Chains A and B, each alone.
Chain A
């Protein structure tokens, strides 16, 4: 029944592209199994072999599904669902024989194609997914039409013109609901800052050029020195690496209300952030966030967090006060804990404390210590021994931001000042024309916060070692060979870089307008529609009045035309200027006869026209009508000349 080769090829193509798109959700062997099944199907199509028997396919699919089920722990429920769906589609195609089976196949394809968007949201992939969707729609159409049918482009265009406003209108205006229930999420490797900070972890992160998040400021852009995007608080130190305290990892819900007086008094910085999928909960905010949109919450310590791991791009709004975060009493105890080891640092800290009993003075002294002593900022620091802080401070003196932050926090704690390392991002690239700040993984940074007068003040040792890093960006301050490390491979090509940047801007708008569209913006849209309702009404009224008038005119003309026979209509169409000289009561034939007599040089042509006209009109001869049409078209110029002659006469 279904021996349509192009359709089978199309479906195989759709399934292969689905495999590529969903590849991220599959283990290697799963992808391999699918690839084998699909390639085998392609082979049978090309060799025009018959479909595999249903029984065999069922057994095969059962075995594979069982294998998938045994792997469900590793793959997760969502990925398992995708695997089973794709398996169903592939098996169906392998044994496809009847029309109703093909319909089921198309149905499952629709669902799978839409599920691709769970994994991919950037614009480029979205375009690919949409084209696969249209391919599937085309195969759907082919199922219900003749095998030889061609797409009627005119009709398709008209359909698209109707669908487009309907589609976008529904998207913009249809009510948006909150999630109904908890759903399984994709399992994927986390990106960005992790919950532990080794001396080397940030160096690895800055070699990644991919975007971390993008910011649009509703209020003025803060100064570059203020752009410290806090993402993680590292409060546990084990002598070598820093960890996020377990009490912070499982915090939920309770919004901070203590800083309300701040929001009233100080001027707020309002901004909205589009964060890339990191598969972690932690998000980004400046200084002290006071309010945020509903999809995120402000955890204690001024950290912004999502309710569940960010598995797809998320957009949220924050208002921050650019002031130190208020401390709680528990935090002080937490951040005075010391780790064993590093005796030199301990001695150094004690000395400092004796010299500068005042916290402010001590921090200043530390800053000048960093800027005056020969400290170096480098992406490739030497390896440090067991007492890593000692080795760094008094021996190598070469390190990256995490080394400086770690050492500073240890010194401050030893000096009896509560301090912690903050991980996050610093700066970003500001695109003034597009009006957004792009923060890449490369902008990853670590600095220190110390407790003073009940608030956590920021202290960034890197700013004293390498001030260009803060004021400009990382690339500008690294030596030549280290910069090459950042811009390796194809990134060296200028043109590609520019293209990539343009694409990034496009992707940004895509994120803002398509991905970031939420119920807030929808409410805003409804409000503005209501505000301009009268204007909209008048426009609609005007348009409909014009449309009705045009329709009436068209109908009147059509009715008038209907009374005229086809031949007469044709003649009036081509000889309108000529016939306008005719008396109303005079028949056309007589008029033409008169013309022939007056202008003998046109008489052969006119007599031809007249005889054809008579034949078409009175004998209802269709061939004569067609001939008349050709004749009139061929001798257009001659007839125009005749008309001129009559007018002149």
Chain B
């Protein structure tokens, strides 16, 4: 990665190091209340400028032997010091939780919802999931926050650490906390829109004709060797061709079946299965899912769909 600068190249290592430290400090929990142990606080860039201003005023006051300028300098210094406490208080006592697991399709956005509860009001919070996802600005904690993150691969993931930042009230200090919430989010395979053009369950029968239902596609790693069209191999030895069978769609219309495959072929099959599940659910059908290891009996409804999609994500 030559186009990345040093900072962004080092950042993952830095974050790994920090995370190891954080894991020791706070292990994931359902509900986290921000206490002293979890809150970090340092001056912001504006805070450093403010401190510089205080130094300048002290110099000015000393050089002119002017007590009033010194008074202003000390006043600003005490404001600066007090704002440590105020900034800290704006974050402490906030209870954060993620009540439900978020879900979404791969390469699309997943939106975990974070809700808050606290005895007092907290203002001007910034939330983002580490490392560096989009920031969400929250004016106060009466409503919940919807975050977003993008994941390329299907699966079941642990919610990454949530970073909550606050500079309220004067922007001189930044208090922040990395929170690990014990919650998952699901990333389902991307529905394959190509199969949506031929919804298999709706086709009652296969019309006559040779090779209908079978298409030739290029071989993906992990596909069964039995399907390779050996006759074609000498023509193009680097690019083997397989015959794709659509028979299972025809023979078992209410079942979505994924063959025991691996690698890209499996991913492709899962994407197709995902699309089929969505189409079946939309069509109000009873359907089931047969995976090499798991079989989900035929049923219907949003919960059933979710169950099937989760099985696909885990396959």
Contact = CB atoms under 8 A, between A and B. Distances in A.
Contacts of A145: 123-124, 168-169
A110 B123 contact: no
Contact of A180 (B56, B59, B169, B170): B59
Given A103-B171, A118-B69, A144-B169, A170 B77 contact: yes
Contact of A159 (B63, B70, B86): B86
Given A144-B168, A145-B168, A166 B70 contact: no
A338 to B, nearest CB: 44
B181 to A, nearest CB: 26
Contacts of B53: 107, 110-111
Contact of B82 (A126, A162, A312): A162
B65 interface: yes
A170 B79 contact: no
B81 A166 contact: yes
Interface string A188-215: 0000000000000000000000000000
Contacts of A115: 60, 69
A368 B70 CA distance: 56
A295 interface: yes
Given A103-B46, A143-B171, A170-B78, A113 B62 contact: no
Contacts of B64: 118, 179, 183, 312
Given A146-B124, A146-B140, A295-B65, A171 B167 contact: no
Contacts of B229: none
A114 B168 contact: no
A514 interface: yes
B170 A166 contact: no
Contact of A149 (B56, B60, B123): B123
Contacts of A176: 62, 70
A114 B63 contact: no
B67 A515 contact: yes
Contacts of A295: 65
Interface range, A side: 35 or more
Nearest to A134: B75
B72 A117 contact: yes
A111 B58 CA distance: 11
Contacts of B76: 110
Contacts of B57: 110-111, 114
Interface string B80-104: 0110011000000000000000000
Interface residues of B, number: 40
B46 A167 contact: no
Nearest to B52: A107
Contacts of B217: none
Contacts, number: 103
A146 B123 contact: yes
Given A143-B171, A144-B167, A514-B68, A177 B62 contact: yes
Interface string B155-171: 00000000000011111
A514 B171 contact: no
Residue of B56, B61, B64 with most partner-chain A CB within 10 A: B64
Nearest to A155: B86
Interface string A114-152: 110110010000100100010001001101111001000
Contacts of A117: 66, 68-69, 72
Contact of A114 (B50, B60, B77, B81): B60
A291 B66 CA distance: 24
Contacts of A113: 72
A514 B168 contact: no
B82 A179 contact: no
Contacts of A140: 170-171
Contacts of A162: 82, 85
Contact of A514 (B63, B67, B74, B79): B67
A152 B78 CA distance: 19
Contacts of B170: 140-141, 144
A107 B123 CA distance: 23
B86 A118 contact: no
Interface in B284-303: none
B71 interface: yes
B177 interface: no
A107 B50 contact: yes
B49 interface: yes
Residue of B68, B86, B123 with most partner-chain A CB within 10 A: B68
Given A163-B79, A312-B64, A144 B171 contact: yes
A250 interface: no
A133 B62 contact: no
B183 interface: no
A517 interface: yes
A159 B82 contact: yes
Interface in B37-52: 46, 49-50
Contacts of B81: 166
Interface string A151-179: 00000000100110011001100101111
Contacts of B78: 163, 166-167, 170
A618 interface: no
B63 A166 contact: no
A581 B214 CA distance: 90
Given A145-B124, A179-B65, A171 B70 contact: yes
Contacts of A177: 62
A181 interface: yes
A163 B50 contact: no
Contacts of A178: 62
Contacts of B23: none
Contacts of A167: 71, 74-75, 78
Given A107-B53, A110-B53, A146 B139 contact: yes
B73 interface: yes
A114 B72 contact: yes
Given A145-B168, A149-B123, A111 B56 contact: yes
A113 B73 CA distance: 11
Nearest to B57: A114
A174 B74 contact: yes
30 contacts: A103-B171, A107-B50, A110-B57, A110-B72, A111-B56, A114-B60, A114-B69, A115-B69, A117-B68, A117-B72, A118-B69, A129-B68, A143-B171, A146-B123, A159-B82, A162-B85, A163-B78, A163-B79, A167-B74, A171-B74, A174-B74, A176-B62, A178-B62, A179-B63, A179-B65, A180-B59, A180-B63, A295-B65, A312-B64, A514-B67
Given A117-B69, A145-B169, 12 more contacts: A111-B53, A113-B72, A114-B57, A114-B69, A114-B72, A118-B64, A146-B139, A163-B75, A171-B70, A178-B62, A179-B63, A179-B64
Top 9 A-B pairs, shortest CB-CB distance: A117-B68, A144-B171, A166-B78, A170-B74, A114-B72, A167-B78, A179-B63, A183-B63, A163-B78
